[in-house]
Structure 1
Amino acid sequence: MAKAEEEVAVTADEATPEAVAEIAARKTAREEELAALTRDMEISGDRQETIAREIAELDQDRASLNAALIRTAERVHRLETALAESEERYERLGGNEDEVRLSLSKRRAVLAEVLAALERIGQKPPPALAVRPEDALAAVRSAILLGGVLPELRLEAEALAGDLAELTALKRQMAAERDRLAGDARRLAEERARLGVLLADKKARFRARNEALAAEKKKAEELAAKATSLKDLVAGLEKEIASAREAAEAAARAAREREEKGEEAVADASANRLAPAVAFIKTKGHLSLPARGAVLRRYGDDDGIGGESMGVSVSTRPRARIVAPVDGWVVYGGPFRSYGQLLILNAGDGYHILLAGMETIDVELGQFVLAGEPIAVMGTQRLASAATLDIGSTQPVLYIEFRKDGKAIDSAPWWVDMENQKVDG
């Protein structure tokens, strides 16, 4: 009979087929429960009306709306991160529960053998020592058997009690984590609803000021259909589209002002600014990624199709909010060749930020956006895109590319602590 210390390492191979099947079913149920906690979370009509009233009461100016958008986007990002961490803890606790159950399943068979041996001894107890010599021999043999079995039984019972106590504690922790997940999911649904109302309000105001927007969007789409590369697209937009041309001119003016008056004299950190707070080159080492997630591929990595990646690919949560990594003007937002939905920001000084892989874009051509302002939403799974063609992730993947004077450059120096970002794959 195996000793208790030899049974600490429990694997699925050592458990019964029934136990393994039960664990697999439990894991599937746990994954479905986790998905249900965060999928399609809705808020009541009363709560939606309350949010709409709060936004209607905001000061009706650009600064107030921008500040509210950025604050709400930050809360959404924090909640998305908290949900991801809770899901990881919940999955880890579930895995621990599976291990304990497998351990119990294996010990059940061992204990059954020990108890069966004791039952046989009970049915045929050893005789008294003083009757016959052969009786004494039988008693000695029984004593030897009991001496070997009882310590084994005690060890198994202690291990069993320990497993049961751990299982009880794990169930309590999982229940607490499940409650935390549900609460965070409800709060995330509220913040997403708030963000949706704020964005709709801002887009309505922008459209009211720009009657030519529809014609510009149509012309931009025609240019995108004709362009053969991202470089051609950016050049064509700034030549043919009035809002993109105006953005380039505004960026040039801002650069001249910084050069003539000095960086500090023209720096504007208010939510009402209409030009970048600082020159893009000065933001090196200070930018946050547009979405929280694991870095799957960096600039210069093998792109899986015989070339090198020109940007960074980041795995995100389903329906994650994408925020502008830097101040800039929207010069394009729409489909482009095999990139899917593409968003281009003019960050000034010849720099452009390209984002792809989103499902929807929430900003308009010519709009000036602030760093941290919500600009797009990811889908529920990875969308087909040339930029992320060889990535095996089923999660949505955001592609980020920096360009200087039309040429792709390494964005790593601009990101906060990029070297310590997690890389999957």
Structure 2
Amino acid sequence: MIRRAGLILCLLSGLCATAASAATDPVLTARRAAQMLDQAALALQQADGAHDRVAALTRTISAYEEGLVAIREGLRRAAIREQAIRLEFDARREEVSRLIGVLQTMQRDPETLLLLHPSGPVGTARAGMMLSEVTPAIQARAEELRATLEELTLLRALQESAAGTLAAGLSGAQAARTRLSQAISERTDLPRRFAAEPEKLRQLLESSDTLESFASGLTSLQGDATRPATAGFDAARGALPLPVQGTLLRRYDEADAAGIRRPGLLIATRPLALVTTPAPATIRYRGPLLDYGNVMILEPAGDTLLVLAGLSQVYGEVGEVLPAGAPVGLMGGADPKVSAFLENVAEGGGSDRSETLYIELRQGNAPVDPAQWFRLTKE
């Protein structure tokens, strides 16, 4: 029995090491995410009374987006950790069963019987010495095994309880988007650099067959309006946040699967993600353009245009001057149902970033690599 117990301990050492070596704690991640969503819900309640409702609701939506991303990450880690534990148990099922059998035997039989040895008193003494050394180790392994089983139970409970948290977060985010659209429609305090010229814009749209020709034509529609200074925008080079929460899908002039190259960045985003201006800028155009979907063209500096294409909704009016971080629109798509959200996380497949935002930066009527201005991440 003692030899068998020692063998089980050696075989179980890998299992216990795996249980204790989690790089990150999915439970803590999910709990922090739930707290973030609670704080976002509180911010939503307070937003209507804020001096600047648009800014308050913009921050609220960003908080919801960050919280939902965090809880998704926590659930993803929980699912991965649960699967790892189950696979390890399956691989060592026999060893675990043998350890449990040893523990049950030790609990059932009196200690004096366990120490008896057929070779006589000397063998009994040696058995006693071995058992006194092995028993604490067996108990320690049993405690580690119990802790792993408790972790497995906690991970499963975490995933089962996430439905309510997700439902509240998704509902709150949608409510914040609705209120933001209303607040923007009622906003009257933004300064204007120039008045829109709808007829000239319409003619430019009809005569333009490329994004380049349309963007170039915009420069002639500004009239006598003073161009914004370039110093602030140039100083932010390399430090600007992306206009949307997402990850880099394709770089400047990088070919897609069809071999098509575009002089801009393609960012993968989640459905209904909020798009904001990364720097103070004037709206030069908003609306549908060619095959780019809804487009927002901003002028953050003289002779510089920032093109954001692929939005579902666009906010603001041509000529308005926006501060940094102001909302300019929403991406398309629809929030997934909670059940689909959980299933996608549990299966570990498929990306939840189903929308794409195209970013093009033009200076002097020529495209330049936007990566020189933005902080980029790529998964």
- TM-score, normalisation: structure 2: 0.65
In the alignment, the residues of structure 2 paired with residue 286 and residue 151 of structure 1 have an alpha-carbon distance, to the nearest angstrom, of 57
Give the Cα–Cα distance (whole angstroms) in 2 for the partners of residues 183 and 196 of structure 1: 20
Match of 1:78 among 63, 66, 70: 63
Instruction: Map 1:128-207 onto structure 2 (within 5 A).
Output: 157-170=142-155, 184-185=169-170, 187-202=172-187
Q: CA 1:345–1:114 in structure 2 vs 1: closer, same or farther (change >3 Å)?
A: closer
Deviations 1:4-43, CA, capped at 9 Å, x for gaps: 4435657xxxxxxxxxxxxxxxxxxxxxxx9xxx9xxx99
Equivalence map 1:282-321=2 (5 Å): 282-306=235-259, 308-321=261-274
- SS of match in other structure, 2:223: helix
Q: CA deviation at 1:196?
A: 1.9
Question: Any stretches of 5+ residues in structure 1 without a counterpart?
Answer: 11-33, 59-66, 130-134, 240-244, 256-274, 382-391
> Which residue does the alignment assign to 2:223?
249
Higher helix share: 1
Q: How does 1:21-420 map to 2 (within 5 A)?
A: 54=49, 67-112=52-97, 157-170=142-155, 184-185=169-170, 187-202=172-187, 213=198, 219=202, 223-239=204-220, 245=221, 248-249=222-223, 253-255=225-227, 280-306=233-259, 308-380=261-333, 395=353, 396-415=355-374, 418=375
8 Å contact from structure 1 (residues 90, 178) kept in 2: no
In 2, distance between residues paired with 1:173 and 1:211? Answer: 53
Tell me which amino acid in the other structure corresponds to 2:371.
A
Seen in structure 2, the aligned counterparts of structure 1 residues 212 and 310 have a Cα distance that, compared at 3 Å, is: closer
1:6 maps to 11
Letter in structure 2 aligned against 1:6? L
Aligned residues with identical type, % of pairs? 23
Structure 1 pair 88–211 and aligned structure 2 pair: CA distance change class (3 A): closer
| Higher gyration radius (CA) | 1
Maintained 8 Å contact 1:277/1:327:
no
What root-mean-square deviation, in Å, do the aligned CA atoms of Structure 1 and Structure 2 show?
Answer: 5.3
The residue type equivalent to 1:367 in the other structure is E
- The residue matched to 2:284 in structure 1 has which SS? strand
Q: Which amino acid aligns with 2:148?
A: D
**SS of equivalent residue, structure 1 residue 332:** strand
Q: TM-score, normalised by structure 1?
A: 0.59
Moved over 6 A (4+): 114-119, 147-153, 175-180, 203-206, 209-212
Count of aligned pairs between the two proteins? 334
Residues 73-119 of structure 1, C-alpha deviations (whole Å, 9 max, x = no match): 23322331232122212211232123233444455544446777999
Structure 2 letter corresponding to 1:249 = G
Would you say the 8 A contact 1:3–1:152 is kept in 2? no
CA contact (8 A) 1:343 1:356 kept: yes
Give the counterpart letter for 2:63 in structure 1. R
In 2, Cα distance between equivalents of 1:359 and 1:411? 22
Please say if residues 270 and 352 of structure 2, whose CA atoms lie closer than 8 Å, have aligned partners that are also in contact.
Answer: no
Q: Which secondary structure state, in structure 2, belongs to the residue aligned with residue 399 of structure 1?
A: strand
Q: What is the identity, as a one-letter code, of the residue corresponding to 1:88?
A: E
Distance 1:422 1:212, change over 3 A: closer
**Unmatched 5+ stretches in structure 2:** 16-32, 335-349
Q: Structure 2 vs 1, CA of residues 277 and 87 (structure 1 numbering), >3 Å: closer, same or farther? A: same
- Confirm or deny: 8 A CA contact 2:47 2:56 kept in the other structure: no
Q: Deviation at 1:405?
A: 1.9
Which one is further off, 349-358 or 327-336?
327-336
Deviations 1:155-192 (A, max 9, x none): 76445323223234545766787776566545534432
> Can you list the C-alpha shifts for 1:126-160, whole angstroms capped at 9, x where unaligned?
9x99xxxxx989xx9xx99xx99999976764453
Distance 1:414 1:116, change over 3 A: closer
